[in-house]
Amino acid sequence: MAKLRSIAGAIVFLSLWLSNPGHAATDDLAALRAELEALKSDYTSRVQALEARIKQLESAVATAQLAAAPAPPVPPAYPQPAPVAAPGKSSNATAFNPAISMILTGNYASLSQDPATYRVAGFIPPPSGEGPGNRSFNLDESELTVASNIDPYFFGNVTAAIQGDNSIDIEEAYFKTLALNNGFTIKGGRFFSATGYLNEIHSHNWDFVDQPLVYQVFLGGQLAQDGAQIRWLAPTDYFIELGAEAGSGRSFPGTQRNSNSLASDALFAHLGGDVGDSTSWRLGVSWLDIRSTDRTYHDVDQSGTPVTNAFTGTSRTWIADGTLKWAPHGDPTHHQFKLQGEYMQRTERGQLAFDLAGRNLAGDYNSSQSGWYLQAVYEFVQRWRAGLRYDSMQSGTPGIGLVQAGLLPFAAFPSLASASPERTTIMVDWSLSEFSRLRAQYAWDDARATERDRQLLLQYIFAMGAHGAHKF
């Protein structure tokens, strides 16, 4: 710019110097002057244009820096009434309060069979998480979630379920990284395992009151890991996610063990995408390897005497899951259809101890069992949804060393007699808003080897506090 200015200056000087000598004709001089004047003004205007351009770029960069910081309030473009609430400027100790939400759930249950005798026939029962719960009115869990970014590097979340029986379960309490790049996220603490589809979803977001049978039997409802998880999201337009988990194995099908080793390993892969603007889908495959020591369960022996048995060994589970959602133009306000299914295949190998408190016999044990469910939920008018679910389990006959050796008859393990439990469930729910839902569910439950259980469940779910964001 300085250079251009001096060139312009030199031209002016030259024009003045040229105008001085008196030998040139007056006419010629005037013409020359006019010409130089034109040249000068041309350069001046070019210099001005360049200056303006530079200023503009400078101010663009300055605004860019401003915009990166929190934006200053912009005055309204039109007359406005006085603002109703002036933003507080004084220091405020509560400004960093985390997002807090509380879910209230409860139900009324009418069951044709005694829930105390509930057992999915053919399978070693989990310590909890099986069956429809108690009869009559029940307070389900009240779920308190506190979540917040911790700093630029971590996000924290605690979900505590205050149970109807006045106990408190820490469902999840984890940190999650925010500052790893390249699609990596690490989670640590206690968290619902990302194996399967439904396992990570909290109960207030389930489409039915209870979990599918396969979740109840193979994972004790939901598998929570005390451990760490790493996920990697591929840099592709399709959703491709790979992950691994390592945990202590304290939750079923594992047990708390007196060992420094990791007892619960999981691998999972998810693939997802859209079909047109109305349909989206996700497929997943997961593998779980969990070790347990003295995982006890209650049974009766061949003469009907109560016994406590225990499994020690390895439980390996394959899970395949698929979810498809459809809504007109992808807008679920008025109609949405959701189809979801999962298949699990579990192999358990180890030792089975019989009647720990009395005869205390032990022998080899191996089983190969599977189960699946398929469910569809349709929002048929705004706020009303109907759903249908079918559950099926195949227990097969386990290999029991004590029986093969002739020490005990198979009838000493009545819980493990081959069975194919199934259940059919229908559901209608009504959501008055995003934050309240009332549900009626009826199930024909053939989980028991003997009698069918007809279950009517009426449920309420209310969400208070922070507006949660939900996974697919």
Partner 1 sequence: MPKYVRSLLALATVSLCGGAVPAQAALKVLATTPDWAALVTELGGDKLNVYTATSAFQDVHRVDAKPSLVARARSADLVVATGADLEIGWMPVLLQDSGNTRIQPGSPGYFEAAPLVHLLEVPSAVDRSMGDIHPLGNPHVTLDPHNIATIAKALTARLVLIDSAAAAYYAARGEDFQKRWQQATVGWEAKAAPLRGVGVVVIHRDQAYLCNWLGLKELASIEPKPGVPPSAGYLAELVTKLAATPPKMILRNAYNDPRAAEWLSQRVHTPVVLLPYSVGGTPEARDLFGLFDDTINRLLAALK
> According to CB under 8 A, which residues from 404 to 463 bind partner 1?
433-435
Does 253 sit behind a cis peptide bond, omega within 30 degrees of 0 on the bond before it?
A: yes
Smallest gap from residue 111 Cβ to partner 1 (A): 34
Q: Tell me how long the chain is.
A: 472
- One of 190, 204, 250, 282 touching partner 1 (CB under 8 A): 282
- Secondary structure letter of residue 182 according to DSSP: T
CB 271 within 8 A of CB 284: yes
Of 454, 426, 452, 453, nearest to 440 by C-alpha is 426
How far apart CA 372 and CA 390 sit, in angstroms, is 8
| Interaction pattern, residues 292-311, with partner 1; x per rule: CB under 8 A | --------------------
Cβ atoms within 10 Å of 427's Cβ, excluding its own = 22
Cβ atoms within 10 Å of 416's Cβ, excluding its own = 23
Q: Does the footprint of partner 1 cover residue 184 (CB under 8 A)? A: yes
CB 104 within 8 A of CB 142: yes
CB 223 within 8 A of CB 200: no
Q: Does the footprint of partner 1 cover residue 30 (CB under 8 A)? A: no
- One of 2, 25, 74, 95 touching partner 1 (CB under 8 A): 74
Q: Does the footprint of partner 1 cover residue 270 (CB under 8 A)? A: yes
How far apart CA 132 and CA 116 sit, in angstroms, is 10
Q: Does the footprint of partner 1 cover residue 95 (CB under 8 A)? A: no
Smallest gap from residue 199 Cβ to partner 1 (A): 16
Q: Does the footprint of partner 1 cover residue 383 (CB under 8 A)? A: yes
Smallest gap from residue 53 Cβ to partner 1 (A): 9
Which residues 160-179 are close enough to bind partner 1 by CB under 8 A? 176, 178-179
CA distances from 390 to 60, 166, 319 (A): 61, 33, 17
How far apart CA 41 and CA 46 sit, in angstroms, is 9
Smallest gap from residue 34 Cβ to partner 1 (A): 35
CA torsion 344-345-350-356 (nearest 10°) is 50
- One of 20, 82, 329, 357 touching partner 1 (CB under 8 A): 329
CA distances from 50 to 5, 12, 53 (A): 11, 20, 5
- One of 164, 188, 322, 330 touching partner 1 (CB under 8 A): 330
Which C-beta is closer to partner 1: that of 143 or that of 299? 143
How far apart CA 297 and CA 415 sit, in angstroms, is 10
Which C-beta is closer to partner 1: that of 16 or that of 234? 234
Smallest gap from residue 451 Cβ to partner 1 (A): 41
Q: Does the footprint of partner 1 cover residue 73 (CB under 8 A)? A: yes
Q: Does the footprint of partner 1 cover residue 228 (CB under 8 A)? A: no
Smallest gap from residue 240 Cβ to partner 1 (A): 7
Name the one residue in this structure whose structure tokens are 């959602």. 325
Smallest gap from residue 464 Cβ to partner 1 (A): 8
How far apart CA 199 and CA 253 sit, in angstroms, is 14
How far apart CA 229 and CA 241 sit, in angstroms, is 13
- One of 2, 77, 82, 95 touching partner 1 (CB under 8 A): 77
Instruction: Report residue 333 CA to chain centroid gap.
Output: 21
- One of 27, 28, 165, 237 touching partner 1 (CB under 8 A): 237
- One of 43, 108, 154, 155 touching partner 1 (CB under 8 A): 155
Q: Does the footprint of partner 1 cover residue 3 (CB under 8 A)? A: no
Q: Does the footprint of partner 1 cover residue 71 (CB under 8 A)? A: yes
Q: Does the footprint of partner 1 cover residue 83 (CB under 8 A)? A: yes
Which residues 46-65 are close enough to bind partner 1 by CB under 8 A? 56-57, 60-61, 63-65
